[in-house]
Amino acid sequence: MKKNFLNLKNIFYEINSQPILKNINLSINEGEFVSIIGKSGSGKTTLLKIISGLKKQTQGEMLLNDEILSNENIFLEPENRNLGLVVQEKVLFPHLKVLANVEFGISKEANKKEKAIEMLNKFHISSLIEKYPHEISGGEAQRVALARTLVTKPKVLLLDEPFNGLDEELKKDIYPDVKKILNDNKITTIMVSHNTSEVKNLSDRIFNLENGALKEL
């Protein structure tokens, strides 16, 4: 396992001189699953957006596999970071069937259909390939969203309350599938969540974000 695959060094973020994140330092190993918990408004989603490139930190530096993603002088655009982001809204393309949704991120690959079906099989939802998003359940849509992201083989997977709103029984079904796929593909993952049980089920390490600072639990 490669050490210090993703590095956040002295990350600060402020809005109108109001500090949101203060001196965030975090080193994550390749293939590690790290969760961040904290109250609403604590800055969890903001931190994910900074890592993904949807926001830029006020100060500090981020590196992925020793490549600078962002610092005072360099800013790599989100599409060039090879990071996957899955949010709780389960945003699927409504005009595309399930198979086309999953194929979307690998549309230029010759064997995109085979890869998409293989990933859907791993989530036990290959029977849905001809259905549109409005024809499937919330839990199925969440699996499709995860499959669509994971089929692109992101270097880092960012999960923003990905299972929020799903019933507890369905979550128990999804957790082992997600964990196995992440482990098999050695995908480094950061998840933010309010759900303590969810965090304990999936994480290698857990941090609390409070008053703009990270503390390992």
Least Cα distance to 172 among 141, 137, 202, 136 occurs for 202
Q: What angle do CA 85, 88, 90 make, to 5 degrees?
A: 80
Q: Which residues pair with 11 in a beta bridge?
A: 24
- Residue 24: inside a domain, yes or no? yes
Question: Residue 7 belongs to a domain with what CATH number?
Answer: 3.40.50.300
Domain holding 57, by residue range, is 1-82+187-217
Check residue 188 and report its DSSP letter: E
The more confident residue out of 14 and 176 is 14
Query: How far apart, in whole angstroms, are the C-alpha atoms of residue 23 and residue 99?
Result: 42
Residue 1 has pLDDT above 50, yes or no: no
Instruction: Classify the C-alpha dihedral 93-99-104-107 as positive or negative.
Output: negative
Only one residue has tokens 């050695």, namely 186
- Residue 191: inside a domain, yes or no? yes
- Residue 92: inside a domain, yes or no? no
Query: How far apart, in whole angstroms, are the C-alpha atoms of residue 217 and residue 215?
Result: 6
Say if CB 29 and CB 184 are below 8 A apart.
no
pLDDT in tens, 63-122: 999 999 999 999 999 989 989 888 876 679 999 999 999 999 898 888 999 999 999 998
- Residue 205: inside a domain, yes or no? yes
pTM to 2 decimal places: 0.87
Number of helices followed by number of strands (H, E) in the chain: 6, 10
- Residue 176: inside a domain, yes or no? no
